[in-house]
Structure 1
Amino acid sequence: MQWGQDEDRPTDPEHEVVAFLNRRLGTGPALLWTEGRSPSGADHWAETLRHRLGRPVEPAPSRPVRRLAAAEGSSLLLFQHRGGSRVRPAGAGAHPGVRLLSGHWLLLPPGCGCDLQCRPGAEPLALRIPTA
């Protein structure tokens, strides 16, 4: 995500992710690179985002190779905590997908699922967030 000239990029990863979601949730896809150390754990992020966004946020299983689905009216938020993963939109055919590295966030639009292929040692997190 690009921050505007009049905007200061948040220095805290939690604030940055919340600002990103406030601008992009319900649209997508969108990619964010956070700087600094991000807290780990889907439960931590689910609780933090639930509190700050005022919406239900639930962790989705994301390891080792899995197809993730977001229900209609929900966006899928992926965070690569460690290592790397390849994300391909569901039904994209030969589309090579996007490679997520440590610190990358990918927001998929409502109802869009994906195939997630994790490299050995990768730690991705996946969260479902209702948009309505």
Structure 2
Amino acid sequence: MQWGQDEERPADPESEVVAFLNRRLGTGPALLWTDGEQPDGNPPGTGPTHGAARWADTLRHHLGRPVEPARQLTAPEDGSLLLFQHHGGSRVRLTGTATHQDVRLRPGHWLLLPPGCGCDLQCRPGAEPLALRIPTA
């Protein structure tokens, strides 16, 4: 995501993800790449399941709306899907949009999919993406 000239980029990754969602939730697809150290603070190998639960709790608290780990890689008609590349790399082919496009996710990248948009995910060995479902308020 590009921050405007008159906008200050949030200081920490958690605040940056919250600002990104406040600005882009319900639209998309949108990509956010965070700078600096691993956004979730978990060492490699802790697994995406733990990270998904942690991020769901954090975002639920900051956004004041339900956020839950996703079991499917399709944004529901009544909400958005948020993918986070925890470790490694993945290729995401977006489906359900006017154009099928590919997005490369690297560690620290977040991809927001709008309602009804899906994806085919191809992960490199050792890649650990996580997915969160955010229903429309």
State the TM-score, normalized to the length of structure 1: 0.88
Partner of 1:112: 117
SS in 2 for 1:68: coil
> 1:36-90: CA deviations, max 9, x gaps?
22114111100000000011111124xxxxx611211210100101100111112
**In structure 2, how many angstroms separate the alpha carbons of the residues matched to 1:15 and 1:73?**
25
Letter of the aligned partner of 1:128 in structure 2? R
Instruction: Decide which moves more: 11-20 or 94-103.
Output: 94-103
> Which consecutive residues of structure 1, in runs of 5 or more, have no partner in the other structure?
62-66
Pick aligned residue for 2:127 from 117, 122, 131: 122
In structure 2, the partner of 1:64 is: none
- Give the superposition deviation at 1:5: 1.3
Alignment of 1:58-69 (within 5 A): 58-61=68-71, 68-69=73-74
1:2 counterpart SS class: coil
- Tell me the secondary structure at the aligned position of residue 56 of structure 2: helix
Structure with the largest fraction of strand = 1
1:71 counterpart = 2:73: no
Alignment coverage as a number of residue pairs: 126
Q: Find the counterpart in structure 1 of residue 66 from structure 2.
A: 56
Q: Which moved more, 1:94-103 or 1:120-129?
A: 94-103
**2:8 paired residue number:** 8
Corresponding residue SS for 1:15: helix
Aligned partner of residue 21 in structure 1, secondary structure:
helix
Give the Cα–Cα distance (whole angstroms) in 2 for the partners of residues 91 and 3 of structure 1.
27
Deviation at 1:95, TM superposition (A): 4.2
Counterpart of 1:51, as a letter, is: H
Query: Is residue 88 from structure 1 mapped to residue 98 from structure 2 by the alignment?
Result: no
Amino acid at match of 1:86: R
What is the percent sequence identity of the aligned residues? 79
TM-score (norm 2): 0.85
Show structure 1 runs of 4+ deviating over 3 A. Answer: none
- The CA RMSD over aligned residues, in Å, is 1.7
Q: Tell me, what secondary structure is at the counterpart of 1:106?
A: strand
User: Which amino acid in the other structure matches residue 89 of structure 2?
Assistant: G
